[in-house]
A and B are shown apart, each in its own frame.
Chain A
Amino acid sequence: MAPKETPKMKQRPIVRLGILIISHSVVVSVICCISGVVALLLLPILAKNTYISENALMPGSANPMLSDQDVGEANKLVNALLDLKSEPISSGRVSTLVAEFISDLGAEVGYHKFYPESNQFHPLHFFSLPDSGSLQENVNCSMYGINVIGIARAPQGDGKEAVVLVTPYNSENADLSDALSIGLTYSVFSLLTQVTWLAKDIIWLVADSRYGEYSSVSAWLRDYQRPVFGASLILDSDTCDGGSRPYDLNNFMTCGKLIDNFKRAGTMAAALVVKVTEKSEPFVDTLNLYAEASNGQMPNLDLINIVNYLAVHRQGLHVKVKKLIPLLNAKWLNVLADILETVGVIFRRLNPQWKFGIPAAEYIDGTATLASSLYYQALGIPTGPHGAFRDYQVDAVTLEFSPYSLRKGRHKEFLLQGSRLIEGVIRSVNNLLEKFHQSFFLYLLTSPGRFVSVGVYMIPFILLVAPLPVMAASLYMNIFDFGPNTETGQLAVSPRSVTWLDAAKMVLIVHFWGAIVSLLPYCICQMDFSTPTMNLAIWSMLSALCFLLLCLVLGLHFNQTEKAKWVVLKSATLSAVFIGLCLMSVVNFATAEIGALLLVPLCLMIHPLKINPNMGTLVNFSRMALNFILLSMAFPPVSFFLLQGAVYGFHGIDIGDFWMWVESLWAWNSATYLYITMIHLPCWVLCLHILLHAR
């Protein structure tokens, strides 16, 4: 605050407003936090209907050309694949069979041999793409997969762009649905080799998913986008003995196609991953859409829109996106939905033009979808092979058909329906002159046809985060209420800056410790302990040890003498949380949102355990209890288990699960891992430190 000597000086209005807000920080933070949570709960109501933003797409404007003839051909392939299954050795045969079928269509065929690499923790590779050169050291030569690539060239096109179709196929345990997924794509592909309207080349990738769907697709993409010259030969001759080529590779060589001839088309415009599962909803043919890629990136909303539009309005499929099922039966949500519905009715009675409320059932459904959308974006792990495309800025989506008609044995009907949908989507993308850019990239889905755009879902986050700097400022300004009598003259300056520096140092050291904690799993992986529980125990022990060491070395002293210390520390913590959350919201918004929900109330509430004699015991006790609850809830493992328990039930939870979860996070290069170890955990530790602060 300005020195007291010049009280007559006029403050500028913005400063006055700031001072006003800061002086009412408690009220402001309570209001902001509550309204933040309320705004989050209102998101399903504020969701808008999706619309096709890019006019060039024109979905469904042409009649599908796919005929029974194409489906008949595809059915032949399905039967041939099923026949192969009964034969003893079929791993290589599937590739050759599919390749034969493709080359009979007059399309180009290529093979792509890849060595799947296990996902490794690369501490310094977080936001960069894995470099293919360095990865080839840890390759197992006996394990390799073979992708088949078919390319239909656009007859009059210039070959600058391409649309990718991906069909993951596991030849080792394939069943009817896998064969059908190949048949489905084949029927589309066979049509596309003959049509004249193609402007973009079509690449069909039959991904060998013996070692995972994602790894085969990403291996192909890596060789497509950033091949390494001069390395493949070394790999083949040195590390993997060229003489002992398995039989099926030799087969490929003899059928006239060079295996090392990597087929290419132009820049990828979009990609569709086609899958068929046997799990199905009763009585309806369902289409599941998966869109989340790594770090919460989504494909352009237009891509989802065309799929949804064509599936619902042209093919009569029931489109679904993922939901958190347990939320559907949650009591509190039902009550909330009813309340919101009545509020909506009241609003409509006031003015019929206010379309505020939505039916309770729709609200519950929307919330469950929104929650899952938030959760999967926050995890930062791609929900399918489409995630590999997003790493190269290609819009991709996974279409998972779960046909009911299969149960009744009507394969052809399903094939016709499914392939007409894919044909329609490809036709739309083919119409597109520019790349996808018109519609949203940042959105949350509340149903396949409704979305919340970035402009709306930013509001709850901003409301949640806004109290942090206000509270920090107010605490900092009010130190003197807590501190010794330094209100007179020059003495005020130095102790304040000293305490400030101490607090900043503390925050920095704890964050540094967080960085060390984030690197520890790399060492633990090198040591190779068997059970995840063991790993977790070692990780936590090492972390604690590091913390103690750091404290000893850098001279952090816990014996606080000044009363003001914890206040300054809290203020510094709040600023750190604010900066951390804002940074994270740029990288992965959903993580920041969930993190804010957990951290913000804790940081605002945190107070030393020592009983304040000025207040009543009830107040003291409730504050202590709240602090404890919030603190324990915000501890990453606890919040993980609570979430797991809420979603899947509490039985059968293993401590090791947390380790597995964290492992999956870093294996997928998820920024959520960095957030947890470098922002969330240090801030939690700082809060713990404040809680245990003894005066």
Chain B
Amino acid sequence: MELLPSASLFMLLLLSLLIFLPLISIGSVLDGQVEEKFTEELLLKPLPDRKVLAHFHFESTAPRTQYYGRHHHLFPKAIAQLVQKFSIREMELSFTQGRWEYESWGGYDPISSSSAKPPGVELWAVFDVPVDQVDASWKNLTHSLSGLFCASINFLESSTTYSAPELAFHPASVNLRYGTLPREAVCTENLTPWLKLLPCRDKSGISSLLDRPSIYRGFYHSQRLRLRRVKIRADAPDSDTVLEQTLTVVLQPNGIRSKESQSSKRKLHPTWSMSSLFGRKIEGRCALAKSSNVYLQLERDLVAEMKRLKEKRKFFDISVLNEDLIENPAFEISIKPDLVLREVLSSQNESSSLTYEYSIGKSASPNTFDLSFTWKSPVAWSCRKPPLRASRFLMGSGNERGTIAISLRSMGPDEGLNVSDMDKERCVLPVNIFQVVPWYIKVYFHTLKVFIDEKPMSVLDAVEKIHISPSEDKVSPGVMEMVLKLPCGVKSATITLEFDKGFLHIDEYPPDANQGFDIPSAIITFPNIEASIYFDQEITLKDLPLLSSFQEKNPIRYYTEVLLVPLTTPDFSMPYNVITITCTVFALYFGSLLNVLRRRVSEEERLHNAKGKSGPLSRLIAKLRRSKEIQPQSTTTSSSLFSSKLILKIIMVAAIAICWQYLSG
């Protein structure tokens, strides 16, 4: 008896639990993450070659719930629809102008491996659709994006321009498509739609710094949009959509033409401030942003150099070496940072990079924020260079064939990999190379040659994995992906591929065909080397997407130069001449050929003899012919076609012509 009520109670409890569980879970969602989030961040970094890097990072997150229906507060609706319609799992689109200088601006840090992009447009996307629908989704996506960003991304629709890499990208998937347009020009018309995706546009907050003339004057300009679907918690039923918008610019502080300051290495770096770089100041934060931060990053080498400088001066003024370097002899920052983040390093003997954080709106002067950076003494430092410096070039000349060479060089004995000598023999550095070649460049993959340290190697020894899909004329480009295994102490490695130059149909030539044709950048990744910076203050990073993205494990990625291949081009201005000459040649050829084929030996003779048997018409013709025949016979025998009559006629005509010419003139 006692069991029954307890059991019923238990049942009741269970029932109530079953009823309320969804409600509770919804409630927790409402509490925790249902809110859309927008953050704006800007990272400034002085570069060793007297320039300044500015990296804008805007991130908006939209949870996928039924709560809002189809509407969003902050998240751009256009993008949300795009994600929904094409089931995009991940996508990245970048517009770039100029080249990223890996040697002087760095190639080992998160910014360079994520934001250094090839010139023009690059797009890759992973779709959440069955494999056979991926191509269709891609085509639709390119059209939508091209409308959205006022760019000719729709040219990526053609199957000759995109490919499906398998090894090169981190989220390897059969649903990945990749395409580039190296010749796409980037201008404000691409920036404006990009800015429209931001909740505050460029009216307030950090984005108000984006003064068009000053950012397009820079040496490098890359505007990027990245979409991801991430699960905040592993057990969450739906994933959030994260839109990451970054703009990376490299600017020259005080004008381009500054002769005096460029004459020597040991000269003072130019002083800059946000208002001198952009011509504007930050007037408060974007009201919709959850956090709005500006960072100033000092590189490892610069910090080390600073400490050295400080140590030198220690003897003169006895100041305590404070670790955050805000007080230092080399430069002065106008505003004190709210927080100093220090990089966590595995080895102790190197000095770690520093990041100063400023929160907009919370700083001393609430209305305007204008950070200025004043150099006081000359400092020379170098950035963190990529493990191997890659360059790609064409060999050979002429319109027939050529060779693509990709050469990898180590940056010097101290740079790159720091492996102890013992490991050097066994240690292997894998390098991924991804190369797309348009179909009219007919690459012969069997001519692949690998040279390591100037010594020819057999391909089997040097290549760990290779995946090739040869090009198909007018259908698909040639794709080569390979994993090279290089010894760690490698000084130089070169791979060469020979190709034949193809011919295009006259309709297929793009405008300005005489410039040549582009081979898109090759992507070189170092899968075992990660470009990430770990900071000592983990807790604060939760709401700082830019800094937490630095901690992600991204392999170092390196884009090579775009190559220009001159192909044979027809003379477009003379199709008429060509048609005329060709037709003449054909007419002459076929005319004489038909004539020869039609005529039988001594047939004319027979016709001539058998003139009586034919009908009245042919008899008439024969008669006419005969009367004509007499004339040439006589001329050939006498061999003077130009009878005096004819000559007289010609002279008369000529005289009339001359007279007419003279009188009319």
Are A11 and B662 closer than 8 Å at their CB atoms? no
Min distance, Cβ B387 to any Cβ of chain A, angstroms: 16
Contact indicator A437/B514 (Cβ below 8 Å):
yes
Task: Provide the B412-453 mask, 1 if CB < 8 A to any CB of A, else 0.
Answer: 100000000000000000000000000000000000010101
Max count, chain B CB within 10 A of own CB: residue among A6, A20, A156: A156
Answer yes or no: A353 CB below 8 A from chain B CBs.
yes
Set B265, B604, B635: member contacting A9, Cβ < 8 A: B604
What 0/1 readout, one digit per residue, does chain A (385-407) give for beta carbons within 8 Å of chain B? 00000011100000000000000
Task: Report the interface size for chain A: residues with CB under 8 A from the other chain.
Answer: 51
Interchain CB contact (< 8 A) of B632 among A16, A73, A195: A16
B409 neighbours in A (Cβ, 8 Å): 261
Q: Which of A221-229, A330-338, A499-507, A549-557 touches B?
A: A221-229
Chain A residue nearest to B665 (CB atoms) is A351
The answer for the CA separation of A122 and B120 in the assembled complex, in Å, is 46
B661 touches A434 (CB 8 A): no
Tell whether A232 pairs with B259 under 8 Å between CB atoms, given A19-B636, A226-B395, A226-B396.
no
> Which B residues are in CB contact (< 8 Å) with A9?
604-605
Contact A194–B562 (Cβ < 8 Å):
no
B454 CB contact (under 8 Å) in A73, A105, A233, A266 = A233
Contact A353 B564 (CB under 8 A): no
Which B residue's beta carbon lies closest to that of A6?
B605
The answer to whether A8 touches B456, judged by C-beta atoms less than 8 angstroms apart, is no
The reply to whether B391 and A434 form a contact with Cβ atoms under 8 Å apart is no
A155 at the interface (CB under 8 A from B): yes
Residues of A within 8 A of B453 (CB): 233
Number of interface residues of B (CB under 8 A): 66
- For window 322-374 of A, CB contacts with B under 8 Å fall at 350-353
Contact A266 B263 (CB under 8 A): no
- Contact partners of A232 in chain B: CB under 8 A: 454
CB-CB contacts below 8 Å: A71-107 with B: 73, 104-106
A267 touches B564 (CB 8 A): yes
From 634 to 665 in chain B, residues with beta carbon under 8 angstroms from any chain A beta carbon are: 635-636, 639, 641, 661-662, 665
A window 1-36: CB within 8 A of B:
6-11, 16, 19-20, 23-24
Interface centre among A16, A230, A232, by most B CB within 10 Å?
A230
CB A616 to nearest CB in B, in angstroms, measures 25
Please determine whether A435 and B395 come into contact, CB atoms closer than 8 angstroms. Answer: no
- Shortest Cβ gap from B211 to chain A (Å): 17
With contact pairs A225-B396, A353-B665 given, residues A160 and B562 touching in the complex (Cβ less than 8 Å): yes
In the complex, A108→B101 CA distance in Å? 12
Q: Which residues of B contact A391 (CB under 8 A)?
A: 397
Chain B residues contacting A654 (CB-CB under 8 Å) are none
Tell which of B119, B398, B514, B608 touches A435, judged by Cβ atoms closer than 8 Å. Answer: B514
Minimal beta-carbon separation of A395 from chain B (angstroms): 12
Q: Please, how many angstroms separate the alpha-carbon atoms of A351 and B119 in the complex?
A: 60
The answer on a CB contact under 8 Å between A435 and B516 is yes
With the chains together, A157 CA to B185 CA distance in Å? 11
Which of B182, B259, B602, B661 has the most A CB atoms < 10 Å from its CB? B259
How many whole Å from B187's CB to the nearest CB in chain A?
12
Q: Is A454 an interface residue (CB 8 A)?
A: no
Q: Tell me, rounded to whole Å, the shortest Cβ–Cβ distance linking B580 to chain A.
A: 15
A267 to chain B: closest residue by CB: B564
Main secondary structure of the interface of A (DSSP, over half): loop
Answer whether residue B207 sits at the interface, using C-beta atoms and an 8 A cutoff: no
B 545-575 contacts with A by CB, 8 A? 561-566, 569
Inter-chain contact A435/B661, CB cutoff 8 Å: no
Interface residues of B in 376-404 (CB under 8 A from A): 391, 393-398
Pairwise interchain contact B49-A266, C-beta atoms closer than 8 A: no
- Taking CB atoms, residues of chain B closer than 8 Å to A351 are 661-662, 665
B256 interfacial by beta-carbon distance below 8 Å:
yes
Whether A434 pairs with B608 at a CB distance below 8 angstroms is: no
Contact A434–B496 (Cβ < 8 Å)? no
Residues of chain A lying within 8 A (CB to CB) of residue B451: 229-230
The answer to whether A8 and B514 have CB atoms under 8 Å apart is no
Chain B neighbourhood of A20, CB < 8 A: 636, 639, 641
Q: Is B66 an interface residue (CB 8 A)?
A: no
Given known pairs A229-B456, A267-B564, the reply for A10 and B395 (CB within 8 Å) is: no
B494 partner, pick from A24, A105, A229, beta carbons under 8 A: A229
- Name the residue of chain A whose CB is nearest to the CB of B397: A392
| Cβ contacts under 8 Å, B264 to chain A | 104
Q: Contact between A11 and B605 (Cβ–Cβ < 8 Å)?
A: no
CB pair A8–B563 under 8 Å, yes or no, is no
Identify A352's interface contact among B397, B456, B608, B665, CB under 8 A.
Answer: B665
| A433 interface hit (Cβ, 8 Å) | yes
Note all chain A residues with C-beta closer than 8 A to B221: 156
Q: Is residue B199 contacting chain A, with contact meaning CB distance below 8 A?
A: no
CB distance from A491 to the nearest CB of B (A): 22
Residue among B259, B412, B456, B633 making CB contact with A194, cutoff 8 Å: B259
Chain A residues with CB below 8 A from B515, complex form: 433-435
Q: Give Cα A351–Cα B658 distance, bound, in whole angstroms.
A: 10
Q: Say yes or no: A10 contacts B629, CB within 8 Å.
A: yes
In the docked arrangement, what's the CA distance between A69 and B265, Å? 20
B398 touches A393 (CB 8 A): yes
Closest to A393 in B: B397
Tell me, yes or no, whether B170 is within 8 Å of chain A by CB. Answer: no
Measured between C-beta atoms, what is the minimum distance from B628 to chain A in Å?
Answer: 8
Tell whether, in the assembled complex, residue B395 and residue A230 are in contact, meaning their CB atoms are under 8 Å apart: no
**B97 in the interface (beta carbon within 8 A):** yes
Q: Is the CB of A158 within 8 A of B625?
A: no
A158 in contact with B182 (CB, 8 Å) = yes
Complex contact B454–A196 (CB within 8 A): no
Q: Are B99 and A159 in contact (CB under 8 A)?
A: yes
Q: Which residue of B has the minimal Cβ distance to A263?
A: B391
The answer to whether A194 touches B257, judged by C-beta atoms less than 8 angstroms apart, is yes
CB–CB A266/B561 < 8 A:
yes
Contact B632 A11 (CB under 8 A): yes
> Do the beta carbons of A105 and B262 come within 8 Å of each other?
yes
* CB of A224, distance to nearest CB on chain B (Å): 8
Task: Bits for A470-491, please: 1 = Cβ < 8 Å to B, else 0.
Answer: 0000000000000000000000
> Which residues of B have CB within 8 Å of A104?
262-265
Q: For B613, what are the chain A residues with a Cβ–Cβ distance below 8 Å? A: none
A275 at the B interface (CB under 8 A): no
User: What 0/1 pattern do residues 140 to 161 of A give for CB contact below 8 A with B?
Assistant: 0000000000000101111111
Q: A264 in the interface, Cβ–Cβ < 8 Å?
A: yes
Residues of A within 8 A of B665 (CB): 351-353
CA distance A350 to B661 in the complex (A): 9
Chain B CB within 10 Å, residue with most, of A267, A351, A433: A267
**Cα–Cα distance between A11 and B636 once the two chains are bound (Å):** 9
Chain A hits for B639, CB < 8 A: 20, 23-24
Chain A residues with Cβ below 8 Å from B262 are 104-106, 194
Min CB gap B295→A, angstroms:
26
**A230–B455 CB distance below 8 A:** yes
Q: Which residue of B lies closest to A227 (CB)?
A: B395
Q: When each residue 156-168 of chain A gets 1 if its CB lies under 8 Å from chain B and 0 otherwise, what string results?
A: 1111110000000
| Contact residues in B for A155 (Cβ distance below 8 Å) | 98, 219, 256
- Report the bound CA distance from A104 to B49 in whole Å: 12
Closest Cβ of chain B to A389, distance in Å, is 10
Contacts A/B (CB < 8 Å), 12 sampled: A16-B632, A104-B265, A155-B219, A158-B119, A160-B518, A160-B562, A160-B564, A225-B397, A261-B409, A393-B398, A393-B566, A433-B515
A264-B393, A434-B514 given. 19 additional CB < 8 A pairs? A9-B605, A10-B629, A11-B632, A16-B641, A69-B259, A106-B49, A155-B98, A158-B120, A158-B561, A194-B259, A225-B395, A229-B451, A229-B456, A230-B456, A258-B412, A267-B516, A267-B566, A393-B398, A435-B516
Closest 8 CB pairs of A and B: A434-B514, A233-B454, A158-B119, A160-B564, A351-B665, A392-B397, A229-B451, A434-B515
Interface residues of B (CB under 8 A from A): 49, 97-99, 101, 119-120, 182, 217-219, 221, 256-257, 259, 262-265, 391, 393-398, 405, 409, 412, 449, 451, 453-456, 494, 496, 512-516, 518, 561-566, 569, 602, 604-605, 608, 625, 628-629, 632-633, 635-636, 639, 641, 661-662, 665
